[in-house]
Chain A
């Protein structure tokens, strides 16, 4: 299963990078969403799927899955949510001010047209 999941994560990353390299701001943010999904799944996969019970103590069970990756992912989910929310509002404000969401038009330097 881990082998297949490695390919799935790779696929998610590929799609995310493809979106991040696009011109529309919204697509870029969607890309970051996919990227964080890929990263979370990758952490889970790397922690291995061994064990048959969720990491909550219950009588007679000893075969718990590894709880550490789960704790890490939980933290990561919250942080990526915070960042995504910020990005979305940033994109919204940028569109309001600049009247464009085309990344090729948003250039910092005036030297290069």
Chain B
């Protein structure tokens, strides 16, 4: 129970932040915020000994029990690792933000409320076992990310980036919800644990593949995989602590988490392996290739994040292959999931520190443009050291943790071609090749990032402010992360035993039941294996290419600027949905009521006539029809003539009088068909109506002799004929197919005995069905009042006062 509450601790803390910000101005609000993640780090760290033995802990709080929706906090190796990352890096980011954001100039309470909201949401995502609450927290991360990217809301680019990231991630979230719902229908439960237990059975369902693709779409949009990565570079408009936290270490890994969590369910499917590994590899290459093109420090880091996430994703895909291999514990496929988790930890450490360094450079020099920077090494020695450690780790150089995970990555990729089904033996060779090329580019942009900023020519005249080393408080967090980068290199097996192996058990429960069974030992030196030669190749080629960077960097400008995914997004959002769709709706939403009426009438006629004939409902019989009399025919003739006169009269006077004539003919019909009350009412009402028409006659203008376009007149005639035909057909078939006798017999028999009246129509109106009459009176009263109000109330002339 307390475990469930822990997910909400940051959210609860957020409630107090406006109070701290408004009342205690002298202390930076961040110090109060810091308490929450620090507590969580210590709290979750206390579970590490239990979880690393392979046990799991679960706590539940029912939210909507009748629908099976509950907040379930499920701690296993995977979710504990993520929880520690979230709260740990969260604490460092809060510490960094205390020095980064000015307490007098910024709206700190907004910032920290969003940040804490995000922290709760992330904890919820990684701990939720119930898919519906997982989705709830998932969307909460999107919303808080939206708020954080748009933190400086008076900047155009911030709002653009916030909108873009939200459209893409929320769109993916919706897809994911669809996948969850499909899964829950197939497995009849929302619990992921229970779904994993019946995974082989799930795979036999027809909708399994749809659930798979929908959930993958959710994961790919969130984790910025190809082609959905485009929101991430634009999200760099957020304050740097946010970029470091959300867009490198935590939120973008929610998709990774999702793929890892659902691997036991979907690993059976060939599609899953191909999509996750293939898209991951494509993203890895794409991100690393375009990172070299960027000139903005955070832009480089954004593309590098995209690329590294692709790396982790492809490893998870290859890790799923282990499901299909007999005795996978003895093969090298087992490395993949292990390497994925290992690289995830490493990436969180070095990328977090690099973002903080980018923020420091921005903060101290006033620019992030790499073309203006240079030669800062002697001015900012600490930042340079941290950047060097982070970049070398990112490039995969010893003695930093990136080296170890990159070696394992290459090992896993080399193993793919040995997998001999699902066409992997044919295409598998592409995996190590693409991975190697991408690694070369990774090496180049890592060097590009650190050496273009800190070495070379110092250009003080181009910098907005005079640069100097950052305050000590700002350096604490990146230094801690950088020291972790080095520490992990020297004690990788401690990290592996504590964190990685329990997580691997969670990802590959089909291979292991206990962390002790994961017999992988990380060694920095593993002899002259192919992967070592590959690494040497990366370093040599990468270094040579870096030296001649200025020669070939221009080739990026050669690619057509119109043919980018960003342009596609802009086209969809601004051209297509905005302009094209508006033009399209402008085609039929003309604002002319005649057009709308024509649509409605022809639509009704079309549907009714069509239904009559499709359902074979049209039928005419003369059985049961009453005889025709000459007097009635004469009356019909009068009615028809009157109607034609009304329609084609040139003056309104003729038209009104002809309408009156029609009305009186109708009342004559009522006389002829034995309806005395109707005849009376119709006579009176028609008289009053004609009087009213004549009254309006004085005020309304003469019929104007407007030349209508003949096209519309034909259309008008066509629509009206269609409606007339429809009414006739419906009337004929309704008359010819009567199945039930009228209930009038009851009224006729009881009108005197029960109601004490003789006029059946009147008794029906006031006795049997008196409610109709009551509200008909109401209608008249409302009409009367409305007419009165309309005539009396002249707001526009009296200056809008009653």
Which residues of B lie under 8 Å from residue A89 when comparing CB positions? 696, 787, 790-791
Contact between A14 and B723, CB atoms less than 8 A apart = yes
- A contact patch SS: helix
A62 to chain B minimum Cβ distance, whole angstroms, is: 8
B793 to chain A minimum Cβ distance, whole angstroms, is: 10
Contact between A46 and B666, CB atoms less than 8 A apart = no
Contact between A1 and B720, CB atoms less than 8 A apart = no
* In the complex, per-residue mask of A28-63: 1 if CB is within 8 Å of any chain B CB, else 0: 011001100110111011111111111111100000
Which residues of B lie under 8 Å from residue A97 when comparing CB positions? 796
* In the complex, per-residue mask of A3-31: 1 if CB is within 8 Å of any chain B CB, else 0: 11111111111111111111111110110
Determine if B765 is an interface residue (Cβ-Cβ < 8 Å).
yes
Pick from B598, B625, B655: contact of A27, CB under 8 Å? B655
Determine if B643 is an interface residue (Cβ-Cβ < 8 Å).
yes
Complex interface: stretch among B395-403, B410-418, B510-518, B586-594? B586-594
Closest to A3 in B: B625
B767 to chain A minimum Cβ distance, whole angstroms, is: 11
B329 to chain A minimum Cβ distance, whole angstroms, is: 68
Which residues of B lie under 8 Å from residue A112 when comparing CB positions? 586, 589-591
Determine if B677 is an interface residue (Cβ-Cβ < 8 Å).
yes
Determine if B721 is an interface residue (Cβ-Cβ < 8 Å).
yes
Pick from B590, B640, B701, B716: contact of A8, CB under 8 Å? B640
Given the known interface contacts A65-B675, A103-B593, the answer about A111 and B586 at a Cβ–Cβ threshold of 8 Å is yes
Within residues 604 to 653 of chain B, which ones have a CB less than 8 A from any CB in chain A? 620, 622, 624-629, 632-633, 636, 639-640, 643-644, 646-647, 652
Determine if B377 is an interface residue (Cβ-Cβ < 8 Å).
no
Q: What bracket does the count of chain A residues touching chain B fall in? A: 35 or more
- In whole angstroms, what is the CA distance A86 to B676 when docked? 27
- In whole angstroms, what is the CA distance A38 to B725 when docked? 13
Which residues of B lie under 8 Å from residue A19 when comparing CB positions? 646-647
Contact between B673 and A21, CB atoms less than 8 A apart = no
Contact between B723 and A27, CB atoms less than 8 A apart = no
B84 to chain A minimum Cβ distance, whole angstroms, is: 56
Determine if B748 is an interface residue (Cβ-Cβ < 8 Å).
yes
- In whole angstroms, what is the CA distance A56 to B677 when docked? 10
A1 to chain B minimum Cβ distance, whole angstroms, is: 5
Closest to B622 in A: A3
Closest to B783 in A: A82
Contact between A23 and B594, CB atoms less than 8 A apart = yes
Contact between A101 and B700, CB atoms less than 8 A apart = yes
Pick from B761, B782, B787: contact of A74, CB under 8 Å? B761
Which residues of B lie under 8 Å from residue A81 when comparing CB positions? 685, 688-689, 780
B665 to chain A minimum Cβ distance, whole angstroms, is: 9
Which residues of A lie under 8 Å from residue B28 when comparing CB positions? none
Task: Tell me how many residues of B have a C-beta within 8 Å of chain A.
Answer: 102
Given the known interface contacts A37-B666, A70-B677, the answer about A57 and B743 at a Cβ–Cβ threshold of 8 Å is no
Contact between A78 and B723, CB atoms less than 8 A apart = no
- In whole angstroms, what is the CA distance A33 to B685 when docked? 11
Complex interface: stretch among B66-74, B123-131, B421-429, B752-760? B752-760
Which residues of B lie under 8 Å from residue A65 when comparing CB positions? 673-675
Contact between B708 and A23, CB atoms less than 8 A apart = yes
Given the known interface contacts A10-B724, A55-B759, A57-B751, the answer about A103 and B592 at a Cβ–Cβ threshold of 8 Å is yes
* In the complex, per-residue mask of B567-600: 1 if CB is within 8 Å of any chain A CB, else 0: 0000000000000000000100111111001100
Pick from A9, A78, A102: contact of B780, CB under 8 Å? A78
B149 to chain A minimum Cβ distance, whole angstroms, is: 32
Contact between A23 and B706, CB atoms less than 8 A apart = yes
* In the complex, per-residue mask of A60-98: 1 if CB is within 8 Å of any chain B CB, else 0: 000011111011011101110111111011111101110
B703 to chain A minimum Cβ distance, whole angstroms, is: 6
- In whole angstroms, what is the CA distance A106 to B747 when docked? 49
Complex interface: stretch among B137-145, B359-367, B727-735? B727-735
Pick from B624, B625, B700, B721: contact of A26, CB under 8 Å? B700
Pick from B676, B700, B735: contact of A2, CB under 8 Å? B735
A90 to chain B minimum Cβ distance, whole angstroms, is: 7
Contact between A21 and B598, CB atoms less than 8 A apart = yes
- In whole angstroms, what is the CA distance A55 to B590 when docked? 50
Contact between A17 and B720, CB atoms less than 8 A apart = yes
A100 to chain B minimum Cβ distance, whole angstroms, is: 8
Pick from B591, B620, B752, B782: contact of A3, CB under 8 Å? B620
> Could you name 20 residue pairs across A and B whose Cβ atoms are closer than 8 Å?
A1-B628, A6-B731, A8-B636, A11-B640, A13-B723, A17-B719, A17-B720, A24-B703, A44-B678, A64-B748, A67-B747, A67-B761, A75-B776, A77-B681, A89-B791, A93-B791, A96-B699, A104-B594, A109-B589, A111-B586
- Inter-chain pairs besides A73-B675, A112-B591, 11 sampled, C-beta below 8 Å: A1-B628, A4-B632, A23-B594, A37-B666, A57-B760, A74-B677, A81-B688, A85-B783, A88-B693, A102-B704, A103-B594
